[in-house]
Structure 1
Amino acid sequence: MTARQSIKAKPRLAVTVGDPAGIGPEITLKALCGGILEDVAELLIVGTASNLQQQAKRLGIDKEIGLDAAASVLKTGARITDVPISSSSGFECDYGKVSAQCGEASFRYLQRAAELAKSGEVDGLVTGPINKESWRAADVPYVGHTEALADIFKARTETLFITDKLRIFFLTRHLSLRDAIEQISVEKTTSMFLHAKSVLHKFGLDNPRIAVAALNPHAGDGGLFGQEEINILLPAVERARNEGVAAFGPLPADSVFHQGAQGEFDAVIALYHDQGHIAAKMMNFLGTVSVTTGLPVIRTSVDHGTAFDIAGKNLADSTSMVSAIKLAAQLCRAR
């Protein structure tokens, strides 16, 4: 077996633990338990080692995974990539609270993981949840992961949610609903159809069927409830078809995601953040994985936030992190 074949069989993934004040470190450490990921990928856990040691001990899993003060390689084979924050031995986090220190920490974890990807030391990234208010408190100049990675890699990035058979692309992301509606245009929607086709082609789908969700109730009912379907979305569908995309819609948002989940469409374009998030998370909250498309490396993420309300209470479920790691490994092998 060649070195490259070995990498494809067991990709190397950098896993950032996210905001230390949230559930990111907890779900990352819990994901290492039970050996369920040992044959999936080689994992480099990117975080502050002293904090991870404290959290593993608090969770009562430090001995199970082999994480103590001297450990850099765990019993599972995962490695700790230490990113010291201030005085690392004294690094503390106040669970469930916005913190500039934790915002800085989670951003530096992402930067380190991106460096590993750029240097070819890892094949993909898996990111734990960050708190956007903590990033702002730390003067991080990005709204979130996707925007930061787009700048770091100088790439056009888009967001794709995958949950079971349902794939959702997002026309807009972190905008108010009013601003998101203003961003919808024929050109932007047509471009998303083409982007979605290109991404799905890399997934092995030669002629994917892609639908766009409507903005208004009942897809506008012929203009009774708004003109966006007539003036923007229908022309975009026609343009996409003229450029070789099997494009459909606009279809009522209360139906099209169900149709996608049933396999009638290979992907659905959501027009704004909550339109797609609600559909995916109602279907499978813990099993939904976010994929950043357009990067030169694979990047997946859990689909939930820092869950400050349960941080530090040993209540977090690691299913989404396990799913994100498994999907990242699968996508790396398929490249």
Structure 2
Amino acid sequence: MLGLLGLATSLTLAASGAAQAAYPDKPIKLVVPYPPGGATDIIGRVVAQKLGGALGQQVVVDNRGGAGGNIGAAAVAKAEPDGYTLLMGALTSHSIMQTLERKSLGYNLEKDFAPITMVGSVPLVFVVHPSVPARNLKELIAFAKSKPGFLTYASSGAGAPQRMAAELFKRTAGVDVMHVPYKGSGPAMNDLVGGQVLTMVETVPAAQSFIKAGKLRALAVTTPQRISMLPDVPTAIEEGLAGFSVSSMFGVLAPANTPKPIVDRLNAELVKILQLPEVKEQLLQQGAYAMSTSPEQTRERIKQEISMWAKVIEDAKITND
């Protein structure tokens, strides 16, 4: 009897291994939890095209927008963990929502996903209306301290990475700056250029054309090192904000309990893809710097993002309104 049980177990394991070894044998769905046209969608389409070629199966982009990315993310969290449904995650936004909407969120970012790899990062930049008498971030901090509550900063939404970066700046620099929320980066940038608000922390792609046209003044980027898109703009760290580092991070996740051989296969292919010069250039055209990590490194980065933004949200008493 024991021999038969052992044989049955061996056959089951062998069949499971064979099924995983054959992966993928049908198209894969890459869920983008936002409408078409945004950064997550564009990055996802670059990844999907190359990954499909590497795996020999079509990778279909499935846009499931709504609820700030939560509807699509929740759908992947509940999907079969077989490697055929993946999430193109806006990981900074999802990490913020983990705290901001913890009572209503339909998934847990750390428990309900198997991280595969980080894919790219989009840097942010401090910009001010030209009427603000600050030529650099140190001068902005001094000006804000001289007039508490006078400076206004725009954001693209209550839980947006741009808003969180500004709140982190307020806490780090010890300044009192008033938040003016908008429904999206477009309206926020329009009012900033028009002088209705005075400053903002915005993604470099959204702000770059206004900076080059002289309609906004760039004071500092939020990355640890200077960036190729704005090589003459110093970092916030150079300007005296020790340890200040914020980027909008993107990555690919699978449902929790996806078999490790499948996760490892996807990671290996994506790491190779993200090192291709043409992929780096395609992402850079969208303002994203390509990057890749191991599944373990990806998990750790998500943990760090959740922890960092939870503290900012709690310290600033931010609510999603």
Q: What's the TM-score once normalised by structure 1's chain length?
A: 0.26
Q: What's the TM-score once normalised by structure 2's chain length?
A: 0.27
